[in-house]
Structure formats: structure tokens, C-alpha cells
Structure 1
Amino acid sequence: MRRWLTALTLALITAAPLTAQEATARFGTGTTEVLLRSTTDIAIITPVIDRFVALNPDLSIMYEQWGSNALFDRSREDCRNGTEPADAILSSAVQQMVWLVNAACAAPYRSPNTTALPPSRRWRDEVWGVTTEPAVIAYNRQLLSGAEVPRNRFALLDALRERPALFRNRIATYDIAESGLGFLFAYSDSLEATTFGALLEGFARVDAVATCCSAEIIDGVAQGRYLIAYNVLGSYVVAADEPDVGIIYPEDYTLLLSRAFMIPKGAAQGRIAARLLDFLLTAEAQALLRQTGLVTDLDPAETGLAVSARRTIPLSPAILVARDANRQQLLFRFWSDTFQRAELP
């Protein structure tokens, strides 16, 4: 199994770019069409896009939902080949977005809304963070009591050591070969956590499952196939609205992601993409994003998460190290030696 996983991972690293989106939707009926490619699920983003086209009846938004790696491959090829790109890109795999900016694939834009963002959520006036999303531990409320739920990584390690039979095949997280977001979280953990190596050992001991997608992982927790999901985006847990799925913000540290927006160089409707960006940063749009879980306030009284435990993933050249080929292959190798791949139902 481990040899097969390593071979598959290396094949994924060198595979040809993916070209097909996962799903599409059209918003509005205006005659001017804007193409937005995004990793955000259509059902989650719908309220804010609906509001934008309501305010701009001359526009229609063609929305394409992509996997993060496929979206990066397509955007990179458009940039390299000079083919017409999307008008805007919105991705959770922010290290890929920073790479595109660094490769001169983005168009600059500056406004009062963008300059009001903190430095960690904007870089070179070419990429901007429009959401606030924590990486959380999700768990099944019916199958784990409050006392059994690990509230930090040290407690999770203890649980895996003390009760391996309970957790065997019932811990899930992202497959980093398929998910650019999953890779980013794993890479960030490797820098931040003194527990990282021990966690990999613990996950291997209980045959933890690595799978592709937030929705699939959260559904597995809701159905009881998994007891715990590690490092999943809290926004998708909120959006799923599953009463049997609880959320823990790890007390040792919680990674915070801001989904990145970019206007590709040469975008046919770049000015309208900039208008969309400004709208996403308004109080009205942020409130809509909050309702869908894409913006989390992280009030310590509600989440139990101290300000000192927040670890923001910055939109900056610092995360370009995550794109280093040697580092990638090393992390892929460790990961593939740890996880089995989930079998699709």
C-alpha cells in the first residue's frame, strides 16, 4: 500500500494539468458576462454572488467550481501561453495564488477597501484575502462525549495512544496530493507543531484516512464513518449545518486561512472583477459571508480560542516555500507513508 501511494503521489506531481471544472452555475441575466473560477462550493458562495448581480443588473456571472490543484494548473497555463484567462480567481490554496502573483500572472488593483485590509491579507496590490476561515477539529457529537473530544493536538495524541481500537479507520483529513488546501495545512503544521511527527505516527497507528474534499469528510463525520476530522475548514462544517457534527478550535493553535482573490493579467473584464472584489470587502458582503461560515469572528467567549493561539496563514512570499519541489516531495512521502486512501462508496 505504501509503495503504491508513493508511486501515485509522484505521478500526481508530474501529471499533465487538469482542465475540467467540477460544476458550473450562472448568476444574473445581464448582457456583460464575467467568468469567475473558484474552489468555493457553489452552494456556499451563492448568497453573496446573488447579491452582487442584484446590485449590478447589467452583469451576469459565469461561476466555475474547480479543485484547487486543477484551478492552479489551468491558471498557470493561461498565464504561460497567453490564452484568455478567467476574469477573477478565488482559491483556498493561497500558496498557489501567491505563486501566480510572483510569476507575474496577476493584474494590480488598489482601492480604499483593499488598502484597509491588514498586511497579512494583501500582497503587492495583486492578491487579497476576502474570508476568515479556521482549520478545526470536527467530531461526531453522538459517538464522542464532551469529555472524550480532544481540544488540542496533545490531547488528540493521547486519545490515539490510549484507545487505538476506537479510532481505527475513523480519523479523516485532506489528501494532500489531491487538495492544495490540505497540502497548505499540512505544511503549516510541519512548521508550527512540535507534535507534527508524533501526529503522523499516531495517524499511521490507527490507519487514518486521507480523502479529497471538505464535503465528503464532513458527511463522513455526520454519518458516523469517522469520529474525528482533523484540520478541516470550519466554514464547510458551518455550511453543512449537521446537528451531529461539533467543532473544536484547537487550543494549542488554530490555523486561519483567508481565501485569496486575484485578477489575472489580461482578464477581459478586469474592471468588473475589481468591482466584485470591492463588493466582497464591504460590510454587507462580509455579513453574507459570515452567514455562510466563510467569515468567522472567533470571539474567545464563544470559541474558547485565545487570541495568542491564532496562526494566520499570510498572503506573502513566505508561503512560497511550500511550493519548493524538494519540500513538497518530502512531505508527500511522509504523508503517503502515513495514510491510506479512503475508498469511495
Structure 2
Amino acid sequence: MKIWVAAMLILACVTPATLMAQSGMPLNVEAALDRQVVAPLLDAFERVYPEIDLTYHDKSTLEVDRIVRDERPAPDVVISSAMPWQMARVNEGLAQPLNSGVAQKWPEWAKWRDEVFGFTFEPIVTVYRLNLAKHMMPPTTHATLNAILRSHRELLRGRVTTYSPSGSGIGYTLFQQDARYSPRFWDLVAAMGAADVSLENSTQAMLNGLTDGTYWVGYNLLGSYAMHWARNHPDLIVQIPQDYALVMMRMAFIHRDAPHPAAARVFMNFLLSFEGQKILAGSTPLFSVLPDVTGPYTAQRLRDQVGDSLYPIPINAGLLAFVDPMRRAAFMNRWNREIQILSP
């Protein structure tokens, strides 16, 4: 009897993480998040849980969304910056709740139904080459960007880049938000079209073109990628717009059909933990959400620097409107009309 009681006490102390450490549990994460940027967090997770076999795939937002919907076996954890698409999949029942202490304490404005969580706080920025200042005053607001596109159209022709709303989920989301907050947004789109803007599907493609001199100005780049890249490319200047700055959050959830849900819960809890967020704030430009985390990259520090001109994209059911087919078709029709309106 004493042996049986002792055995039961030992089993009672064994956590799911301990069981995984003993058995070696796989974990598959599908993410629209550059591994180089998030590497400090992934490395820390692998140090804390060395027996969890983490496989991390970095893909585009649209490809991640396709995998979530169509591929089986499903991924364990899904991460994407395309906030409306993430919300749509959760609304369709493709996520499972995370019932943990860190999930329950997570800021209400950065989660939905304890199923999907915004764990970063990333400003959307303009990036320009340093030598642009030799020819014109660099843009600090959406209005001044519009102004230089019109006053220096020939000089900037073919040297401006931004997202393709048809080829990028995050690009489409950001333009939808621009149209919501700026009454002059479509004027800016027309001005970009008149300058023969080059549309790219990723921030990295825009940064590559800015670095090699193909582009002089990039609009609506992800600030996290741009800041990370600019560390080693001092000829690029990252500008948070001073009139208003959109902020997007990477959204993460555990897939409803996750093959390894226990490992997925461990990963999500680490992502949302104080320790995980401290790594984001101190070692990555992804910006921590938690208000009590300190470091160079935190939501509070960004608010202190930019003030009331920060416009975070909220995590709520309103995101679902952006993936409505009729609304998307109407937006794309106007985009195609405006982007060409002043072109030769």
C-alpha cells in the first residue's frame, strides 16, 4: 500500500511538459514571421524545452492561411500578421481555447475568447534611403509622402514601393486600415500609381530593393522587419509616421486539429509568459504587449515615443468585415482604378 501511495504521489507531480520531455514530443509551427527576427524567442524555447522537437516554417500570410484551412495533418500552432484571416479561421472553429493562467491574464484588447492572442505590437513604417535627403525633404507623415510623390514625380518614378493588396494579406489589411483613418488615402494611392509604384508581396522584398538602390522610398513596411534590417544597413532610415501610425499584432492560436496539442499549449504559454515577452522586448524588434515588461521594444515605450498618434488594429469581430468577399472586391476595384488614374 505504501508503495502504491508513493507511486500515485509521484504521478500527481508529473506535468504534461514533464511527460513530453520524457517522450520527445514533436511540435509544428506554421508562421508568417521571419525566423531570423524571432530567433531569440525560438532559441530560448528550445533551451527550456530541449526534448520538444520544434519544427518552424516561415511562409507568406496567404500560404499560412491556406495551410490552416486545407492541409491535414494540421499545424499545431498558427502565427500570422494577417489579422482578419486569423480572426476568420478562429470564427470558423479552427482554433481551440488555451485555458491557462497566462492566457486568462492576457490583456483583453489583445485576445479573443481565449482562443487567439496578439503577442506583438508592431508599428507600420515608411523607409527611405538616406541619400533621398539630397533631393527632397524626407517624408515624416502620410501627407508629406503624398506631397513629394507629386512634386518629385519624375525623380521618384519607379523608385517607390509598397505592398500588393492582392498578393499579401497583411498588405491588404493595412490599406483597409489606411482608408479607415485617412480621408486622403486614395489621393496617396493615386500619387503612388502616377510614380509607377512597384508592388511587392513582402516587407523583405521591399527592403532588398531599398538596399540595392532600386527603390528610394517604401510605404507601409512592417516596422519589426525594417528595424531589424536597418541595424546592418545604415543607409536606410526607418520613419514612424508622425500624423498617425498603424500598429499590427501577430496573432497566434492552437489549431483545433493540432496533432500535438500538449506541446502546442506549452509553446503558447511560453509565448505569452513574462519570460517570453521579455525576450521579445529585449532581443527582437517585435515589441512586447505586456505593460510590466521592460526593454527597448515594448508597447508602452512605443506609446511614450509616439503618443496619441498610434492606431493599433483592434482584435475583435470587426476584423471579419475585411475578409468579406464583396467588401474585398469593392476595395480592389477602387484600388485598381486609383493606382492607375494618373499613370501615363
TM-score with structure 1 setting the length: 0.83
Amino acid at match of 1:279: F
Q: Which of the residues 153, 159, 174 maps onto 1:170?
A: 159
Deviation sequence 1:95-138 (CA, Å, 0-9, x none): 11100110011101132322333222100111001111111011
2:39 aligns with 46
* CA pair 275-298 structure 1, distance change in 2 beyond 3 A: closer
Q: Give matches, 1:38-77, under 5 Å.
A: 38-77=31-70
- Secondary structure of the corresponding residue to residue 199 of structure 2: strand
Does the aligned pair in 2 maintain the 1:144–1:227 contact within 8 Å? no
Counterpart in the other structure of 2:280: 289
Alpha-carbon shift at residue 245 of structure 1 (Å): 1.1
How many angstroms apart in 1 are the aligned matches of 2:250 and 2:98?
17
Residues 55-134 of structure 1 correspond to what in structure 2 (within 5 A)? 55-78=48-71, 83-134=72-123
Residue 142 (structure 1) shift = 2.6
Tell me the amino acid that sits aligned with residue 223 of structure 1: D
Report what 2:24 is aligned to.
Answer: 31
Q: 1:254 to 1:33 in 2, by over 3 A?
A: same
Structure 1, unmatched stretches of 5+, are 1-27, 341-345
Matched-pair contact (CA < 8 Å) for 1:34–1:61: yes
Partner of 1:160: 149
Q: Against the structure 1 CA distance between its residues 49 and 283, is the aligned structure 2 distance closer, same or farther, given a 3 Å change threshold?
A: same
CA contact (8 A) 1:209 1:339 kept: no
Q: Sequence identity, in percent?
A: 26
Q: Decide which structure has the larger Cα Rg and report it.
A: 2
Q: Give the counterpart letter for 2:79 in structure 1.
A: L
Q: Which residue of 1 aligns with 2:335?
A: 335
1:190 counterpart (166, 179, 186): 179
Unaligned runs of 5+ in 2: 1-20, 288-296
User: What residue is the counterpart of 1:8 in the other structure?
Assistant: none
Q: Alignment RMSD, CA only?
A: 2.3
What amino acid is the match of 2:325? A
Counterpart of 1:258 in structure 2: which amino acid? M
Give the aligned partner of residue 256 of structure 2: 265
The 3-state SS of whatever aligns with 2:79 is strand
CA gap of 1:142–1:304, structure 2 versus 1, over 3 A, is farther
Aligned partner of 1:22 in structure 2 is none
Contact 2:74 2:257 in 1 (8 A): yes
Counterpart-to-counterpart distance in 1, 2:37 and 2:130: 23
TM-score (norm 2): 0.84
Q: Is the deviation greater in 145-154 or in 264-273?
A: 145-154
